[in-house]
Structure 1
Amino acid sequence: MARAVGARGLHAAAALALALAWSGVLATLHLEGRATLLDRIEAPLLDLRFALAGPRPAPAEVVIVALDDATLAEAGTYPLPRATLARLVRTLSGAGARGIGLDILFLERGPEAGDRDLAAALREAGAVIAGAALFARAGDGSEPAAEVPRAETVLWPTETLRASAGLGLVNVATDHGGTPRHVPLLIRADDAVLPAFALRLAARAARAEPVLTEGRLTVGRTRLRPDLGLSLPLRFYGPRGTIRTLSAAAVLRGAAGPEVLRDRVVIVGATATAGADTFATPFDPVLPGVELLATALGHLVAGDGLVRDLPVRRVDAAVAAALAAGAALLLPLAPPSLGLSLVGLAAVAWLAAAQLAFAQAGLWLGAGLPLAAMAPVVAFGIAGRMILDRRLAGRLAQAERALRVFQPPALAARIAGDPGYLAAPVAQVLGIVFVDLSGFTRLSETLGPAATQAFLKGFHALVEEEVTRAGGLVMTFMGDGAMSLFGLPEPGPDDADHALAAAAALVPRVRAWLRAESRADALDLRVGAHHGTVVVSRLGSRDHQHITATGDSVNVASRLMEVAKTLGAALVASEDLLAACRDSRAEIAAFEDRRAVAIRGRRQPLAVAVRWVRPA
């Protein structure tokens, strides 16, 4: 057992070292915001959290004016003429919109008059127009990192329009599956730092410049906690149309009343079937890009986005280390079912807490990081525990086999299945048979130790075989004698018959063996058999015990061997034994004499049956 405890301690120490090292590596990558394979675990778990939390209302302050199929049909062309866009901007401004942004890349010049008209409308409204950053390699800028992403180049609007409006970049960061997860709020380009389209528009609407202090971004009256690299995690409101959307055609016709635009922040963008860029989100596989930007704008206006800043990431790292360390200690040291249950409950509890924090407070606590931190530790813990338990089981089986040698097999099996067997003494009626070799003391003086041991081993094996065949247990070997009981571990109705059968069979069998060993002239067998109440119990100290039978009936059976020696008989059985037999007529009839004999230590004589059975 000490070896098992020591091995489990070493296993736990190794598992703990693995847990701390592995979770430390994962935590470092997580705190640096590096893209890893963990994102492939986190992404579907995050989508599941969106699905469980369900859609939620979008901020009423944000409105989308869609360049939809109806608008393109009325305009008769795509892209819309600059003059039409200028009229749309003036209509929105006249309706009291406090912020106007055009999610349109004006990369090419239009008719000169149209460009001048649109530039004037943008300037008058204080509108924001879109640019787009390009990165050196595929994937650059698509993952949040500790540093502000750096673009290789920027797709600028034409100079006329750029000089007349605010500029914001419409880039989004997607995961490996193409689902947008972040909007970079700032992007470096050459020596400049350019704001995101949503950030520039939110600042224009708030009439205040964004302020960044101690990891907090303030836009007007809204305070946010951006992620690493000043990226904004997206908390989708629902499927397309969740954010209030008006058709640009309806606005141009005056069908949209001023009350739906007054004091709103408006994004103009394409939703038409042929002209809109779309993204897959947890709620909608084809969310228009303008609605994605409106989602980011809603976070900046209402402050209701996801929170996954450095403190949240530190919580992720701490929980991952704690869960991995807990698994490292529980799986090697606790009982297997309890250890696995506790580890599973801890993981489920964390996932439930992360879901609750997500739904109630918008906290993006990591689910993939703790699970990934636990996975190799759990595998190592289970595999190591299986190996150690298998080795322990092997040692226990070996020890049990060794211990069985010191107990009768049937009794050893009972103790193995019921360790408390005979913890309290039990009185029961049994058959008792004592055997002894007369003349062995003189013989052993001439045999020597080795020959004596070999002779006794053969004798004991013969007695064990005959007693076991008759259904009894040899409880004790006493040199050249033995005590056997019939009725253990469970008493039966034929115990007396079995005892008499064994006693009768032992005489000719042992004598035949003595003849084969050329010891028939020097030795003979004496057998005493009785039936009565005995006390079966464990004797000895707490650390060293053996099972034996005591009581008057045991003493009587032992004294019957003395009677056999005095009478020169081979077998003496009490009348109590014969009376208890149910089906031993032949054996009983074979007794040659019945008489009452004195028993040493007893006042009353005992009725016995005697068989001389002289050697042939």
Structure 2
Amino acid sequence: MRLPGRWLLLPLAIPLVLALLRLTDAEPAPLQDLEAQTLTLRYRLRGPLEPSGAVSLVMIDDRTLAEYGRWPLSRRLIADAVRRLTADGVAVVAVDLLFAEREHGIPDPDAELAEALAASSRAMVGFAFLFDPERAVSSVPPAALADAAYRVVREPAVAADTGPPDPAGLIAPLETLARAAVPAHVSVLLDPDGQLRHDQTAIRYGDAWFPSLPVEAVRRFLRIDPDDMVLHLGSGVALGPDFVATDSRMRLAVNHYGPPGTVETHSMADLLGGGLAQGTFRDRVVLIGASARGVGDSFATPFSRTLPGAEHLATVIDNLLTGRTPTDRPALVPADTAAILAGGIAATVLGTLLTPILAGLATLMLIAGWTAASAILFATAGLWLTVTSPALAALAGFALSSARRTLIGDRARRLAERQRHNLMRYFSPEIAERLMNTNAPGLDDRVQTCTILFIDLVGFTGVNERLSPNEAMDLLRGFYRLVESAVLDHGGIVDKFMGDGAMAVFGIITPSPDDAADALKAARALASAMDTLNAELEAAGLTTLKIAMGLHIGPVLIGDTGGTRQFTYTVTGDPVNVASRLQHITRELGVVIAASDAVIEAARSSGGGGGAVEGFVELPLTSLRGRERPVGIWGWPAPPAD
């Protein structure tokens, strides 16, 4: 059977494909989405983290609107907030609000905000890309945004699709505001399940690539020259001497810290009202955003369904400043690939060596162990090791190897059953079973006490002359079936069929004290069956048949006999010869069954021999051909009186 060799690679096919997909960063979207769900679970198992304190939020909350007016808050107030933050020694102030339309007033609120932003020299404003063509506002960025793009962009050695789909438009700030501060995009792209897990470090618009607000804020905080912020398409962003790795789509995995309010948050009402201590924001990155009910943007994260957009940006900035971004999947490709292959191979071995139930349990333990290890490494070292692909590889290896094992086992069982069936056509079921269960070319010789039953159809030769070959064979087959039934039903085996006769043995497999009694019962059952057969033959106008049987018990040699290539498994010894002679002498004695003294004595001494010897009569000592001493014989039924 060649299945194992050919099928050995089949359970490994899926793990190999999964490993190749991981190695080439070509995993299908459903697989990536499933992996993202495991990341959410790992965040929740890890729990919240304490931010570094380098980033703060000033939020336009419900209290701010209650004290200073309705939404949108006047840009005069935002200008006042920028001035206060600048005076407090802020390192960077980023306004996460979109100023796409003018605010009318005297004096001009937009001019006042532009003046405050320009005077700060540390200010940033956000703009947003639109990916829905129906919502596109501007197809051409204002000239003021040109300087906001990456100055140095390095293409990958091998051309590949990088970044998100090209935007259909953008929402840009007023040009006066864009020129007064450094603009950067605040666009986010959600995963298919609606969760926010990444920062889009670069988005292409036209021929330029624009950095996200967190990346630009960190550059300004670290005072890195714009020419030293290098975009490496498909791999990451260099911020001076440091390199921030991303995936091939320029996405940076976000290390979420916790629910809303985890990053230090202040109400703008406190800032505008002078209720904050001097130096609260010194040397910090401060984001101005909105969290009032019904305004601003919010996103689902592992810790909350409504994390304000500004707090998301603050979290990314803190990640970049502290180096606490998760070690994302691109950097862990070798480890992930090894885990996929190891899981698939291990599960394949388990499915090959163990039963499906044990292999399934072991595979689940394997998956659970890797999942637990990945969760621990994520919580302690920030390593985002893939869980989904190794689990799928292990399940595939287990399922296919177990299926292969089951199929091979079924084939082997069917083959064994077919071989057993074939053997049972020529051997008794017991001997066939022993031959099936031995690795030796034959069965070992052994001496054992057995009861031998010889059977013969008396006068069949004369009957055969009056029948066609087919009719004669049909008659013999009917006789053989009677012999088989009588012998097997009483625990014996048919050693061989010999023309119009047969030899049966009792006790060849498992000797029993009842062997002699069972042999006598089988002989009597066969005699009764012959009476029924003769009645049917007579009713059909055919010649009836007579049967003669002889039994003897004693030690015989059991084993293979024959030449060098063809054997017969049989018994030999004096008891065989005596049983044969007793069968022949039944004609002279006028009985159907002739049993030796030894058989009758053995039957009587066993627990079930009473009924077996009933009706047997003791006959005179008789000399058998080839034996010096006469043999005591019992006959059934009693011979007719002289």
Band of TM-score, shorter chain? 0.7 to 0.9
CA distance in 2, matches of 1:95, 1:474: 109
Displacement after TM superposition at 1:224 (Å): 1.9
Q: Indicate the residue corresponding to 1:211 in structure 2.
A: 229
After the TM superposition, which of the residue ranges 195-204 and 430-439 deviates more from structure 2?
430-439
Match of 1:36 among 19, 26, 29: 29
2:123 matches 1:127? yes
TM-score normalised by structure 1 residue count: 0.81
Q: Indicate the residue corresponding to 2:551 in structure 1.
A: 529
Displacement after TM superposition at 1:86 (Å): 2.6
2:632 matches 1:607? yes
Give the SS at the match of 2:255.
coil
Give the SS at the match of 1:151.
coil
Q: Indicate the residue corresponding to 2:176 in structure 1.
A: 160
> Structure 1 residues 287, 58: closer, same or farther in 2, change over 3 A?
same
Could you tell me whether the CA contact under 8 Å between 2:47 and 2:258 is conserved in 1? yes
Could you tell me whether the CA contact under 8 Å between 2:346 and 2:394 is conserved in 1? no
CA distance in 2, matches of 1:366, 1:564: 87
Amino acid at match of 1:306: P
CA distance in 2, matches of 1:436, 1:197: 106
Q: Indicate the residue corresponding to 1:241 in structure 2.
A: 261
Q: Indicate the residue corresponding to 1:60 in structure 2.
A: 53
Give the SS at the match of 2:481.
helix
CA distance in 2, matches of 1:38, 1:263: 42
2:294 matches 1:274? yes
Displacement after TM superposition at 1:281 (Å): 1.0
Amino acid at match of 2:619: R
Could you tell me whether the CA contact under 8 Å between 1:12 and 1:329 is conserved in 2? no
CA distance in 1, matches of 2:640, 2:542: 12
> Structure 1 residues 139, 577: closer, same or farther in 2, change over 3 A?
farther
Q: Indicate the residue corresponding to 1:596 in structure 2.
A: 621
2:113 matches 1:118? yes
> Structure 1 residues 186, 216: closer, same or farther in 2, change over 3 A?
closer
Could you tell me whether the CA contact under 8 Å between 2:18 and 2:389 is conserved in 1? no
Could you tell me whether the CA contact under 8 Å between 2:260 and 2:311 is conserved in 1? yes
After the TM superposition, which of the residue ranges 271-280 and 218-227 deviates more from structure 2?
218-227
Could you tell me whether the CA contact under 8 Å between 2:453 and 2:552 is conserved in 1? yes
Q: Indicate the residue corresponding to 1:405 in structure 2.
A: 425
Identity of matched residues, %:
33
> Structure 1 residues 576, 384: closer, same or farther in 2, change over 3 A?
closer
Could you tell me whether the CA contact under 8 Å between 1:154 and 1:189 is conserved in 2? no
Give the SS at the match of 1:31.
coil
CA distance in 1, matches of 2:365, 2:461: 70
Displacement after TM superposition at 1:408 (Å): 3.1
Match of 1:79 among 72, 90, 95: 72
Displacement after TM superposition at 1:238 (Å): 1.4
Displacement after TM superposition at 1:303 (Å): 1.5
CA distance in 2, matches of 1:212, 1:556: 106
Q: Deviation digits for residues 383-433 of structure 1, max 9, x if unmatched?
A: 6776666565545444433333223346657887x7699977777655432
> Structure 1 residues 304, 425: closer, same or farther in 2, change over 3 A?
farther
Could you tell me whether the CA contact under 8 Å between 1:23 and 1:324 is conserved in 2? no
Pairs within 5 Å for 1:128-527: 128-137=124-133, 146-147=162-163, 149-209=165-225, 211-212=229-230, 215-219=235-239, 222-258=242-278, 260-308=280-328, 310-313=330-333, 316=336, 320=340, 336=356, 340=360, 344=364, 347-348=367-368, 350-370=370-390, 393-409=413-429, 430-437=450-457, 453-487=473-507, 494-507=514-527, 509-510=529-530, 516=537, 525-527=547-549
Q: Deviation digits for residues 296-337 of structure 1, max 9, x if unmatched?
A: 111221121123364545665675577668878986898655
Give the SS at the match of 2:257.
coil
CA distance in 1, matches of 2:255, 2:461: 97
Q: Indicate the residue corresponding to 2:42 in structure 1.
A: 49
Could you tell me whether the CA contact under 8 Å between 1:97 and 1:262 is conserved in 2? yes
Give the SS at the match of 1:174.
coil
> Structure 1 residues 505, 20: closer, same or farther in 2, change over 3 A?
closer
Counting matched residue pairs gives: 604
Could you tell me whether the CA contact under 8 Å between 1:12 and 1:332 is conserved in 2? no
> Structure 1 residues 429, 329: closer, same or farther in 2, change over 3 A?
closer
> Structure 1 residues 588, 100: closer, same or farther in 2, change over 3 A?
closer
> Structure 1 residues 321, 587: closer, same or farther in 2, change over 3 A?
closer
> Structure 1 residues 290, 429: closer, same or farther in 2, change over 3 A?
same
CA distance in 2, matches of 1:477, 1:138: 94
Q: Deviation digits for residues 167-205 of structure 1, max 9, x if unmatched?
A: 111111111122112211122223433221111111111
Could you tell me whether the CA contact under 8 Å between 1:62 and 1:298 is conserved in 2? yes
Could you tell me whether the CA contact under 8 Å between 1:98 and 1:265 is conserved in 2? yes
Give the SS at the match of 1:435.
strand
Give the SS at the match of 2:37.
helix
Could you tell me whether the CA contact under 8 Å between 1:511 and 1:525 is conserved in 2? no
Gaps spanning 5+ residues in structure 2: where? Answer: 137-159
Displacement after TM superposition at 1:344 (Å): 5.0
Displacement after TM superposition at 1:250 (Å): 2.8
Could you tell me whether the CA contact under 8 Å between 2:83 and 2:116 is conserved in 1? yes
Could you tell me whether the CA contact under 8 Å between 2:460 and 2:500 is conserved in 1? yes
CA distance in 1, matches of 2:74, 2:56: 22
After the TM superposition, which of the residue ranges 248-257 and 561-570 deviates more from structure 2?
561-570
Could you tell me whether the CA contact under 8 Å between 1:180 and 1:281 is conserved in 2? yes
Could you tell me whether the CA contact under 8 Å between 1:569 and 1:613 is conserved in 2? yes
Q: Deviation digits for residues 119-148 of structure 1, max 9, x if unmatched?
A: 3332233111111111255999xxx96246
Displacement after TM superposition at 1:118 (Å): 2.7
After the TM superposition, which of the residue ranges 96-105 and 388-397 deviates more from structure 2?
388-397
Could you tell me whether the CA contact under 8 Å between 1:72 and 1:80 is conserved in 2? yes
> Structure 1 residues 275, 356: closer, same or farther in 2, change over 3 A?
same
CA distance in 1, matches of 2:218, 2:183: 12
CA distance in 1, matches of 2:469, 2:434: 35
CA distance in 1, matches of 2:594, 2:625: 15
CA distance in 1, matches of 2:611, 2:353: 63
Amino acid at match of 1:153: G
RMSD: 4.5
After the TM superposition, which of the residue ranges 581-590 and 327-336 deviates more from structure 2?
327-336
2:595 matches 1:573? yes
After the TM superposition, which of the residue ranges 174-183 and 150-159 deviates more from structure 2?
150-159
Displacement after TM superposition at 1:222 (Å): 4.8
